[in-house]
Structure 1
Amino acid sequence: MTDAPAGRRLSVLSAADADRLRELPFTYPTPGCTAGDVAPAGLRLLRVRHRLPPEADLDLAAVALFGWGPQRSVGRVAASSPVVRQGAVALLRLGVGPLRITAPVRVVDVVHGPTTRGWAYGSLPGHPETGEERFQLDLDTASGRLVLTVTAMSREATWWMRAAAPLARSVQRAAAHRYARSADRAALPGR
């Protein structure tokens, strides 16, 4: 995987901030759970599948995916590396002013296969949700089409997220759909 440049909506964490985040424990007991089909007890499953355009290219889509592209489509990212790697940490920032949410995460799984590319991150203390989210590109060999699947297994972690649970779930679903649509543009040759 080639390095994607830092830039629009992406910055690199200081070494001290990255080290501090790496020392934090996950806020849920089952890192890697999104590789399966069943959410652990207490977590809700959200899965969004999106077929990319017929001319979408797996390698182009993977460069965007591993450059924090889905997260950059909805907010700002400060990461230990401009390219997703096993163990990378990041602060995901959504919103503006007093409505800004910062969500610390650590990458728990990276997949590089001939027809599959993807990764997952888990929540760290300070994240408004507890759980894990996975972003996976799969080439459907029968149709030749790329499919991006966004899988989240989570629950609200803060009192204010629990109070706004129906709204929070709607926002999470909308973000998953936006993540998926962002892959359409990134996967096209000559974009």
Structure 2
Amino acid sequence: MLVRPLPPRIQSRLRSAPFAVAAGLTAAGLDHPGHRRLVRSVMLRRRDFPGAVEDLLGWQVQARSGLTVLTSDPRVREGGVVQLRLGPGALSLRVPCRVTSVIDEADRAGFTYGTLPGHVETGLEGFLLEREADGRIRFTIAVTSAPAFRLARSFPFVAEKIQDRITDRYLRALDR
């Protein structure tokens, strides 16, 4: 899948949209009533940290996971917006988010985005790469979320299974 520019009209709408996130919620770990907390890590097989960072900050985790990525910026930046799409063409599920923070340090890099109205969930998702002292690269995804749509709230176990599956795809995406 490719990363493509988000049309200016949609960029403008998403930049001005309020977050669909509970007050005080952070991807770093505050438990919130009614929100699921998911933290998963893997050690990547690859050892080129700069390349992994470029892939992560270039939206390749999402693109390589089978999502269509329409974004305001080809490289993740704070305040940037993205509309991920799951499924074919006009029938695709649209998943809008805005980047809330970016880390780009010598041995740590990542970002967090928050959900916007129209997303199937409310919450935050963080992606973090860390270079260990021995050169190995740890990739961590931290999510704090709750279903936003009535159907998802009615069948939370299904929503969690879908979230788990997408997280698994994300965790494998940087080793391609």
- TM-score, normalised via structure 2 length: 0.92
Residues 25, 123 of structure 2: 8 Å contact kept:
no
The aligned runs of 1:95-174 (5 Å cut-off) are: 95-96=87-88, 100-141=92-133, 143-174=134-165
**2:156 partner amino acid:** A
The runs of 5 or more residues in structure 1 that have no matched partner are 1-7, 186-191
Q: Secondary structure at the match of 1:60?
A: helix
Distance in 1 between residues matched to 2:127 and 2:106, nearest whole Å: 16
Quote the offset at 1:139 in angstroms.
1.0
| CA distance 1:95–1:134, change in 2 (3 Å) | same
Q: CA RMSD in A?
A: 1.7
| CA distance 1:31–1:132, change in 2 (3 Å) | farther
Quote the offset at 1:9 in angstroms.
2.5
Distance in 1 between residues matched to 2:62 and 2:31, nearest whole Å: 22
Q: Does 1:79 align with 2:76?
A: no
- Spell out, residue by residue over 1:50-103, the C-alpha distance to the aligned partner (whole angstroms, 9 max, x if none): 1001x4211000111011111112310111111111100011101236762111
Q: Secondary structure at the match of 2:76?
A: coil
* Match 2:174 to one of 177, 183, 187: 183
Task: Tell me what 1:45 maps to.
Answer: 37
- Spell out, residue by residue over 1:132-173, the C-alpha distance to the aligned partner (whole angstroms, 9 max, x if none): 1011000122x3210000111000000121123211111111
Q: Percent identity?
A: 34
* Match 1:33 to one of 15, 23, 26: 26
Task: Tell me what 1:4 maps to.
Answer: none
Give the aligned length: 175
Q: Does 1:89 align with 2:116?
A: no
- Spell out, residue by residue over 1:4-23, the C-alpha distance to the aligned partner (whole angstroms, 9 max, x if none): xxxx4321012221111100
The runs of 5 or more residues in structure 2 that have no matched partner are none
- Spell out, residue by residue over 1:1-50, the C-alpha distance to the aligned partner (whole angstroms, 9 max, x if none): xxxxxxx432101222111110000011347711x233333321111101
